[in-house]
Amino acid sequence: MMQALDRRLFRTVLVVDDEMLICLDVQMQLEEVGHRVLIASSVAEATQIIDRERIDFAVVDWHLGSQSAADIAAALRLKNVPFILCTGSTREELEALFPNVPLLTKPFVSDQLLNAIDVAVAGAAH
């Protein structure tokens, strides 16, 4: 489980998923440990938020309707924002494209989410 000190490394988390129930579930989990959560359900909405807000971390679903989250990942990398990717399909493509980004396979539980965030934040610190 993630240590309390690590959870304070970031405050504003962007959650991107086209399934609103997943967004709300992740939002609840992250707000429980004290984070401010912003939600986006599309590539366009997410990139607008990234452009106008200070994001400390992101949880991003790879498949957003008919689009991938490649543009979101690129925007986050430009701003040096650590992120994790979530997918309901096979991981091989994402592991090849993003070898240093933690991946979560849906469905996931709170401990898996918090541990993946811990890994991503630790990796970004190096």
Confidence tier at 41 by pLDDT (50, 70, 90)? very high
CATH code at position 44: 3.40.50.2300
The stretches of 53-109 forming alpha helices (DSSP H) are 70-78, 92-97
Per-residue pLDDT for 103 more than 80?
Answer: yes
The pLDDT > 70 percentage for the chain reads 90
- Over the range 78-103, which residues count as b (16 or more CB within 10 Å of their CB) and which as e? eeebbbbbbbeeeeeebeeebeebbe
- The pLDDT tens digits of the residues spanning 51-99 come to 999 999 999 999 999 999 999 999 999 999 999 999 987 778 888 888 8
Average pLDDT over residues 40-58: 96
Domain of 107?
A: 4-124
Confidence tier at 126 by pLDDT (50, 70, 90)? low
Q: For residues 63 and 42, what is the distance between their CA atoms, to the nearest angstrom?
A: 10
Residue 66 burial (CB count, 10 A): 6
| C-alpha pair distances (Å), 96 with each of 32, 44, 45, 79, 92 | 33, 25, 26, 22, 6
The model's pTM: 0.88
Domains identified in the chain, total number: 1
* Maximum C-alpha span of the chain: 38
